[in-house]
Structure 1
Amino acid sequence: MSLKLRDLIRKVRACKTAAEERAVIAKESAMIRTAIREEQSHFRHRNVAKLLFMHMLGYPTHFGQLECMKLIASPHFPEKRIGYLGMMLLLSEEADVLMLSTNALKNDLTSSNRFVSGLALCAIGNLATADMSRDLAPEVDKHLKSSQPYLRKKACLAMARCLTKCPEMVEDFVDRVVTLLKDRSHGVLISVIQLMTQVLIVEQKSVLENPDYEDDYGTPCQDAFVKLVPSLVKLMRNVTGGGYAANDAGGATDIFLQVHILALLRLLGAGNEQASEEMNDVLAQVATNTETSKNAGNAILYECVQTIMAVEADDGLRVLAVNILGRFLLNRDNNIRYVALNTLSKCVVDEKNRRAEDDLVATGDDDESANNAASALQKHRTTIVDCLKDPDVTIRQRALELIYHLVNSENVESLTAELLNYLVLCPRDHRGDICTRVLRVVEKYSPNDRWRVDTLITMLTIAGRETSRQVQSASIIYISRASEDLRAYATHKLIKAIRDDDGSQRGLLVVGVWCIGEYGDLLLSPYSNNEESFSAIDTNSILETLEEVIGRHTCTEDIKRVALTAFTKLSERFANSGDTATLGKLQELVKKNSKSQTLELQLRSCEYDALINAMKGIKVASAPASDDIFGATAGGDETLSEAVIAAAKEALARMPVVDLRVMNRQKSSAYADDDMIGGLDTKPAAPAQKKNDDLLDLEDIFGGGAPAAPQPAASSNDALTNGSAPAPAPASDMDLLSDIFSAPAATPAAPATGMSMNGGASYDPFGSMPSSQPQQPPSNPLDAFAPTPTPAPLPTTTAPAPAVDDIFGAPAPAPAPKQNPVVQGPSHEGLSIEFECTKPEALSRAKSTLIAKFKNSNSAAIHGLSLQVAVPKYVTLEMKPPSSTTVAPSGGNSSAQVTQSITVTNTKLGQKNLMLKVKLGFTLNGAKVEHMATVSGFPAGEY
């Protein structure tokens, strides 16, 4: 006999183990299957109710789907109600049996019983597929005109589902929606506003997914609903002013209706200045008159702030919204504080995106608006910083994100100190990211070099274990580029930090050991300034510190490699100290790894030992003459020449200062986005002096001081014509090392001259004929240090040099046409761009035309192609529309190529290089794709 629902619930609750529960459910499921098979119609509603309970427990109930369809067709309301409930819970949109309910739903929609029609409308609102929506939309539309508010509000929700599944039907129901907005029923108003919101979301989604949608179909809903903004504003005033008889909860009138209206206004005012202006007053009224003592008022204010930030509101309204979020930060409820921090961060990101879009459409930035928003945000800086001390880790993380965006040249010292304090408390997993952000802040807004070095050393002391190689390298480069006084200060401070460390801060050890090796001689003298003073350190103490570092069991291989280099450098730094014991100990420490199992340490040890001996002027002999790296014979030490000694000392000299212009060009692509978009700084960072250029600060890659690339050197043919040899290349450290180890250095390409350089070999004007007598290495390795004889200078003549073709007596061919340079652009999702650079005739030299050529390597066509280009301030831009917005698959067919012409004028030609930032947008296989990239590499001095 079939159990009642209450009996099944009682038996399940009485089970003590999961196995007992599964046994009870399995037994009851078998009985339900038997009843279904035997067509026990009088127990059908009870069986479906029990299946609903099993479904809630997570057991399979698919075998009861047809029973729900049978209950829907029942003439009795209780069974019909259980059937609809089972259909909405046990079935999904993908269920095939759902199509069987279309006729039953149509019949119920025409029922005279409003509760039966209400059940059908609820089912449509939850489960309707695209086919069902097309079939049942006319019946749903009839209920939108019903005289009963009960059916009208359910019909609005059902219609929202239908229009979501079939966006093409939106235009047919716009007028009906406009009429319902005048309804006096509270439930109908909320439902119709939700319907309008859903319709706008569907329309905007269609436009985003298919850029041609707006050209083909337009935006009828957006155009029709924008005209209703005054009506919505009036309705909002009535609700907030107490003139609307509705629910009053938490000190606010009709909370849900206000929230839905604000969400709808947000969609209508985005990008529409006229509509935004009409709603500014009511938004200010809601923001100032809403009670904030309870969560109901806070919910309305939160929605109001989101609307203000989304629409084209005036500056005062945006400042008011930021101040509301600032009040949220003072709330004791952690949820409200979290929401406020999250929203403030979103406001900063939206402001950056707004600036980026203004740059792309070449409309300019609203600097005054940005400054007002930044000033309002900076007023709550203290409250935001206090959130870093909150026990809740999620609030600390959101506050950290926000503080990073708040840093500018005025508050960089205080906010960086807060970031370092948080670095002590934050989880270790987050420290690496925070260190990278601190580095970016220090590079961009550092007030002076000493503060920058102090901050980086403090960061390494706190989180050296988690710092990346990028942070370590940047710290080393900043110290190496500093003055001699600052180098001494940094080295003294680093060796003190190394002594206090327990060996766990790997990044601190790498930077500290490197600086001790490079500037160890500065530690021999005391140092003092207005704030700190350090006493002189003797050579033995320095070596003891380094020995202690590499003697720990936690010392890694990279620290040992740096320490080995430091020992070698210190042997040259302490050479004039007169302490022979220290110098001997240094060489012993270098030799210590000559038999290391690590190949890198073994190789360095042997090579560094040879360098130290070469610097001392000692040529070490080994058993076989071939093993002697200096080519000496066995039988004792010999003295090297002064050239070898000088080369060894030069190899161990201080590292040359890094050229930041080269590094900036290498890192421009990684940091271009931040420099173009910028932050909400109320005051731009003061430009640093040339000798203190930031490591990764691009100084605004479009407007900064990056010089143009130097002009190419004269070719060998020019040297031949003018009778002058090219300037000799500067000495290379690689050549010095080659000389020290008696390895023949790489021979640079000899300049083309008019006489033989290889013992009478014939001169080849094309440089393709090999010399008849290749140069042999010297038999004695010491001969490698002998000066190379300088060839006699070429005789100058005033007669013009004959053409190359005249040498062979053949007529010179016609010159080949000049090829236009091609710069490769970005490539993303199978779409690639290249820019062909041309110079229009009879125009200014600064004006150029770039032909963008699009190629599609996908098997499917690309639709809705959109290219947006941003240029620096010193470049003007004119763009023509593309030849087509559809890029067919190329497949080797040049006719499938789409082009677009771009005219640029570089007003600082020869001083600054041309650079573009492009934003691609297209649709591939129904998915919207966007990509941003920076394009450089245009020929310097020409474009």
Structure 2
Amino acid sequence: MAMKLRDLIRKVRACKTAAEERAVIAKESAMIRTAIREEQEHYRHRNVAKLLFMHMLGYPTHFGQLECMKLIASPHFPEKRIGYLGMMLLLSEEADVLMLSTNSLKTDLNSRNKFIAGLSLCTIGNLATSDMSRDLAPEVDKHLKSGNAYLRKKAGLAMARCLTKCPDMVEDFVDRVVSLLKDKNHGVLITVVQLMTQVLMIDMKNAEEEGENPFQTDCRKSFLRLVPMLVKMLKNLQSPGHAQEYEIGGIPDPFLQVQLLTLLRLLGAKNEKASEEMNDVLSRVATGTESSKNAGNAILYECVQTIMGIESDDQLRVLAVNILGRFLLNRDNNIRYVALNTLARCIVEQNKSGTSAVDPNSASSALQKHRATVVDCLKDPDISIRQRALELIYHLVNHENVESLTAELLNYLVLCPREHRADICTRILRVVEKYSRDDQWRVDTLITMLTIAGREATNEVQSSSVIYISRSSEDVHTYATHKLLKAIRDDDGSQRGLLVVGIWCIGEYGDLVLSDYSYTPQSDPSNLAPVSITFMAMTPSSVVESVENVIQRHSCPESVKARALTCFAKLSDRFADKGDAAALDKLQKLLKKHQGSQSLELQLRSCEYDALMNAAKGIKLAPINRAAENDLFGVADDTSGGPVSASVINAAKEALSRMPVVDLKVLQKNKETFGGGDVGASSAMPTASAAAPAPGGDLLDIFGGTPAPAPAQNGGAPTGDAGKSDLDLLTDIFAASAAQPAAPAMGSGGYDPFSAPPAQASAPAAANPLDIFGATPAAPSQPAAPANPLDIFGASAPAPAAPMPAQNDIFGAPPAMQQQAPAVAAQPPAPAAPAGAPAAAGPVTVPGLTHQGLSIEFECSKPDIWNKQTSELIAKCKNANVVALNGFNLQVAVPKYITMEMEPPSSTTVPPTQGANPKLVTQKIKVINSMLGTKNLMLKVKVSFTLNGNKVEHLATCSGFPAGQY
């Protein structure tokens, strides 16, 4: 005999472990399956009821779906009720068996028993698909006209589901919905208002999808005529003569009031006339609703939403903000959370509208009055309340309260979870750079932030701090260096961001801390007698010792040690005339300390800075000796005392001088050029990149690489940044490595590393190994002619082909590893034409690539004489081998300003080109240059094929298209 539902519940509750519960459920599921298989009809409703209980416990019950279909077809009401309940819980609208219930639902909708019809209407409202909605909508419509309020109420909810699934039926029911608003039953009114809301939302969504104005639809215009009726209904609910049976906690029918306010918000949006009709009743609801009960709070919250969503006047908005302010004082965390979220949305809308916070009658001014309450929420034990309050404080900051609110943010930074500190530091940076009153306060705030959360501060925050310090006056330089020096001495070495910024400032402005400094902050109304801040003068030895203590810690990262070497090199120049020989000797030892380090980056910096210091002193190194086994760079340890030219000495001293000030306008321009969004001083890009565009700049835009080096005028080594060529950029797309070119041969007599370098074009600042603003030094394995190692804005001294650690960039990304570059077939550039010149009369042939017997050239033409931006390229492939090339595949990449359509090749086999009329493999490419006349067409080509059973791949760049034509 089948177990009863109550017995199953007892057995499950008696289980002491999850395993026992699973065993009971598995056994009962097996018995139910047996009953289903044996068609035990008299136990069917009991089995479905037990399946409902199992479903609520989370066990699979899909095998009982068909039993629900059989139960709803039963003539008995108890079995129908279990069947419909099982359908709504065990089935979803994606279930295949749901289509079997359409006839049963239609039959039950026409039943004389209102409870059976009500069950079917509830099922339609929960599960109806688009097909079921179309089939059953006429029967549901009949019940909307029914004289029974019970059926009208359920029919309204069912019709809302049908219209959601079939939006094209909305217009047929607009008039029907309007007539139902005169119903006296509150249950019917609630469902009708919900149906109107659903119809309005569907109609507005359809209008948006069709590109029409969602606020000017016919459905909305019809409903706007009902605004006076809806306002009257809401007023009646506020009057003393309302029906007592609909009252909850002393609030008259809160459910109907909430639904009416929601509908009024949709109707009043972007409509001043309708909003004016609502202002009076919204004011009555906001002032006359009791807030001691949750029902009243729900109405007040919806009223605030409506006030903010329509074209209401300022006084009403101030009232809404004050209601939210009262919510913040509530003990219920849910109400406070809702108030914080709503206030954040309100202030965003006020900022968009441009309302002045100075006006005492504006909502912005009302928001500022609750600032203290919001700040108190930062001390709430609930993390969700603290996070919402933090978001709101960011929106509350303006020029008047930036100091007090920033102080609160810094206090919260001490207490907040570590995983949130990085985001808070970034937010504080945005606030400081937007609302700061002067450079002194800005720098002081950033240093305080790094002292608290330097471990979590991002590279962006560190770079921005350096930029703001460098752009300030010398007085701020002195104050910042004194404070940072004290901070890194007091720190335990864990605040990496503080160490990075502090070591940089000490290296740049270390000479400024050798004298006393006093600073008196501006008077504060709360503090009538501001305290003066005094820093005592320090000796050069104590400054060096402070930095040395940082790098001697076991926990000091290698990147900080690398930056400390830069600091020591700078301090050697700063303290050269201070008369402290002990400090200078110590600096020289610290610079040489890492010449034998296992870290290539530290070793490289140590050797180069030592050479730089010797050059600044006029000491000339001995010629290069390749036989020196202990010297990584082939430079002998001994030096010769020969004379050094004055230009080399000046260049070395200039390299050790203070870094140039970052130009924020150039920084903004570079950020926009390289595809960035909003940019402030926090984006630490090299200012030297704002110079004239480097070769391959267009390809740089799309592939994010380094421009190709320009050839030297004298045929020698390439100038500029030789880190990446245009071909290396192809690895970003095709992920291929290329052959590394051999290093240039050295003459037997060596060269003078401090003599003047050969004539060459000026190199970009990105190759500067001392560039702390994110530039990456050239990889030691790059092909470069012997260059002057003292020129920190050019190429570095030659180094072995070994990977360089990721510590070159003090605030930026790690250096890119040198890719092996494939040999490029020489491509003679086509004769340049002036911008705007007319296109050539006939097709133009541009060479593409040549590799292992395969040559490709592009035949360019203009298919449409009226559209000069559109060009057609036909790639013609020739095979000079005696055997065919199989598996031919051509891939092409273009810059982002060019649109390309590429057809398949005429054949994947390239036969040998023989005879007078050889058979060529062609492939058509259509390109559209949206910047014709400004930028020329460029292609990056990758070709692959099989030759004599070997797979061959080759990469090349094609940029010889006539300028101004393609």
Asked if Structure 1 and Structure 2 have the same fold, meaning a TM-score greater than 0.5 normalized by the shorter chain, the answer is yes
The answer to whether the aligner puts 1:442 opposite 2:432 as a matched pair is yes
1:481–1:658 CA contact under 8 A, matched in 2: yes
Q: Which residue of 2 aligns with 1:725?
A: none
1:284 aligns with 2:283: yes
Indicate how the Cα distance of structure 1 residues 836 and 548 shifts in structure 2: closer, same or farther if over 3 A, else same: farther
Higher relative contact order (CA 8 A, sep 6+): 1
Structure 1 gap ranges (5+): 356-364, 676-693, 699-708, 713-731, 751-776, 783-811, 821-834, 838-852, 860-889, 900-943
Task: Return closer, same or farther for 1:99/1:857 CA change in 2, 3 Å cut-off.
Answer: farther
Task: Give the aligned residue type for 1:49.
Answer: A
Deviation at 1:643, TM superposition (A): 3.1
In 2, Cα distance between equivalents of 1:257 and 1:82 = 31
In structure 1, what is the equivalent of residue 235 of structure 2? Answer: 237
* Aligned 8 A contact 1:667 1:696 in 2: no
Q: Give the Cα separation in 1 of the matches to 2:55 and 2:395.
A: 48
Deviation at 1:672, TM superposition (A): 9.5
CA distance in 1, matches of 2:658, 2:434: 27
Distance across 1 between alignment mates of 2:663 and 2:464: 13
Q: Deviations for 1:64-115, whole angstroms, at most 9, x for unmatched residues?
A: 2222112111111111111111111121111222111111111111111111
How far apart, CA to CA, are the structure 2 residues paired with 1:323 and 1:398?
A: 18
Partner of 2:599: 598
Which of 396, 416, 430 matches 2:420? 430
Give the one of 662, 667, 676 matched to 1:663: 667
Question: Which one of 623, 630, 643 corresponds to residue 647 of structure 2?
Answer: 643
Residues 596-635 of structure 1 correspond to what in structure 2 (within 5 A)? 596-621=597-622, 624=625
- Per the alignment, residue 203 of structure 1 pairs with 203
Amino acid at match of 1:554: S
Who is 2:949 aligned against? none
- 2:333 maps to 334
Contact 1:177 1:192 in 2 (8 A): yes
Matched to 2:573, the amino acid is E
**2:463 paired residue number:** 473
State which of 498, 503, 511 in structure 2 corresponds to 1:513. 503
Is the 2:516–2:535 Cα contact (8 Å) retained in structure 1? yes
| Cα distance change, pair 140–646 in 1 and its aligned pair in 2 (3 A) | same
- Counting only pairs closer than 5 Å after superposition, residues 163-178 of structure 1 correspond to structure 2 as 163-178=163-178
Cα distance change on mapping 1:190 and 1:646 into 2, 3 Å: same
Q: CA offsets per residue over residues 516-548 of structure 1, 9 Å max, x none?
A: 111111111111233211111112211211111
Letter of the aligned partner of 2:242 in structure 1? Answer: Y
* Amino acid aligned to 2:461: V
Q: Show CA shifts across 1:208-257 (max 9, x none).
A: 33426979xx8333222111111000000000113331422223211111
Is residue 374 of structure 1 aligned with residue 364 of structure 2? yes
CA deviation digits over 1:246-269, x for unaligned, max 9?
A: 422223211111111111111111
State how 1:313-332 maps to structure 2 within 5 Å: 313-332=312-331
Q: Equivalences for 1:356-505 in 2 at 5 Å?
A: 372-505=362-495
The 8 Å contact of residues 443 and 697 in structure 1, kept in 2 or not, is answered as no
Structure 1 residues 576 and 81: alpha-carbon distance in aligned structure 2, compared to 1, 3 A threshold: same
Q: Deviation of residue 368 (structure 1)? A: 9.7
How far has the Cα of 1:634 moved from its partner? 7.1
Question: Which piece of structure 1 moves more, 231-240 or 393-402?
Answer: 393-402
> Any stretches of 5+ residues in structure 2 without a counterpart?
521-531, 685-689, 694-718, 723-750, 764-784, 791-830, 840-866, 870-896, 904-923, 932-966
| In 2, Cα distance between equivalents of 1:813 and 1:445 | 50
1:423-822 matches, cutoff 5 A: 423-530=413-520, 531-621=532-622, 624=625, 636-667=640-671, 695=681, 741-742=754-755, 744=757, 747-748=760-761, 817=836
How far residue 892 of structure 1 moved from its aligned partner, in angstroms, is: 4.6
The 5-angstrom pairing of residues 874-889 of structure 1 reads none
Q: Please tell me the residue identity of whatever aligns with 1:330.
A: L
Deviation of residue 599 (structure 1)? 0.9
SS at match of 1:658: coil
Q: Provide the residue aligned with 1:109 in structure 2.
A: 109
The residue number in structure 2 matching 1:184 is: 184
Call closer, same or farther: CA 1:22–1:503 in 2, change over 3 Å.
same
Change (3 A) 1:296 1:746: farther
Letter of the 2:219 counterpart: C
Instruction: Give, in whole Å, the separation in 1 of the partners of 2:470 and 2:177.
Output: 70
Q: 1:619/1:381 Cα in 2 relative to 1: closer, same or farther (>3 Å)? A: same
Per the alignment, do residues 34 and 346 of structure 1 end up closer, same or farther by CA in structure 2, a change over 3 Å counting?
same
- 8 A contact 2:460–2:682 mirrored in 1: no
Does the residue aligned with 2:362 lie in a helix, a strand or coil?
helix
Q: Distance in 2 between matches of 1:780 and 1:476?
A: 29
CA distance in 1, matches of 2:242, 2:224: 23
Q: Structure 1's 669 and 380: CA in aligned 2 closer, same or farther, altered over 3 A?
A: farther
Q: More displaced, 404-413 or 241-250?
A: 241-250
The amino acid that maps onto 1:407 is V
**CA deviation vs aligned residue, 1:571-594 (integer Å, no higher than 9, x gap):** 111111222222111111000010
Instruction: Tell me, yes or no, if the aligned pair for 1:742 and 1:781 is still in contact at 8 Å.
Output: no
How far apart in 2 are the matches of 1:654 and 1:339? Answer: 52
The alignment of Structure 1 onto Structure 2 pairs a total of residues equal to 724
2-structure distance, mates of 1:697, 1:370 = 38
| TM-superposition CA deviations, 1:443-470 (whole Å, max 9, x none) | 1111111111111111111111111111
Name the CA shift for 1:779/1:190 in 2 (closer, same or farther; >3 Å): closer
Show the counterpart of 1:17: 17
Q: Deviations over 1:694-718 (max 9, x none)?
A: 83699xxxxxxxxxx9999xxxxxx
Query: Contact between 1:460 and 1:508, CA under 8 Å: does it hold in 2?
Result: yes
Report the residue type matching 2:646 in the other structure. Answer: E
Residue 899 of structure 2 contacts residue 927 of structure 2 at CA under 8 Å; is this kept in 1? Answer: no
Q: Which amino acid aligns with 1:252?
A: I
Aligned to 2:702: none
Alpha carbons of structure 1 residues 54 and 858: separation in structure 2 relative to 1, 3 Å: farther
Change (3 A) 1:81 1:749: closer
Q: For residues 625 and 259 of structure 1, what CA distance do their matches in structure 2 show?
A: 87
Question: Could you tell me how far apart the structure 1 residues matched to 2:32 and 2:58 are?
Answer: 17
d(CA) in 2 for partners of 1:815, 1:570: 52
Shift of 1:348: 2.5
Distance 1:259 1:232 in 2: 12
1:219 and 2:209 are equivalent in the alignment: no
Q: Normalised by the size of structure 2, how large is the TM-score? A: 0.69
Cα shift at 1:349: 2.9
AA partner of residue 91 (structure 1): L
- In structure 1, distance between residues paired with 2:838 and 2:419: 53
Identity between Structure 1 and Structure 2 (%): 68
* Equivalent residues of 1:630, 1:741 under 8 A apart: no
Distance across 2 between alignment mates of 1:631 and 1:521? 32
CA 617–190 in structure 1, closer or farther in 2 if over 3 Å, else same: same
Deviation of the 1:743 alpha carbon: 6.9
In 1: Cα distance, 2:200 partner to 2:397 partner: 38
CA contact (8 A) 1:524 1:536 kept: yes
Decide whether aligned partners of structure 1 residues 283 and 46 sit closer, same or farther in structure 2, where only a CA change above 3 A counts: same
Q: Tell whether the 8 Å contact from 1:144 to 1:151 is kept in structure 2 after alignment.
A: yes
Deviations 1:104-154 (A, max 9, x none): 111111111111111111111111111111111111111111111111001
Conserved? CA contact 2:71–2:82, under 8 Å: yes
Sort the Cα spacing of 1:423 and 1:123 in 2 relative to 1 into closer, same or farther, 3 A: same
2:292 equivalent in structure 1: 293
Residues 343-376 of structure 1 deviation map (CA, whole Å, 9 limit, x = unaligned)? 1112233345567xxxxxxxxx899999922212
Cα displacement string for residues 310-343 of structure 1 (whole angstroms, at most 9, x for unaligned residues): 1111121111111111111122222211111111
Tell me the C-alpha RMSD between the 2 structures. 3.9
**Paired AA for residue 747 in structure 1:** Q
Query: SS at the partner of 1:638?
Result: coil
Matches of 1:30 and 1:403, distance apart in 2: 59
d(CA) in 2 for partners of 1:78 and 1:151?
Answer: 19
- Indicate conservation of the 8 Å contact 1:436/1:471, yes or no: yes
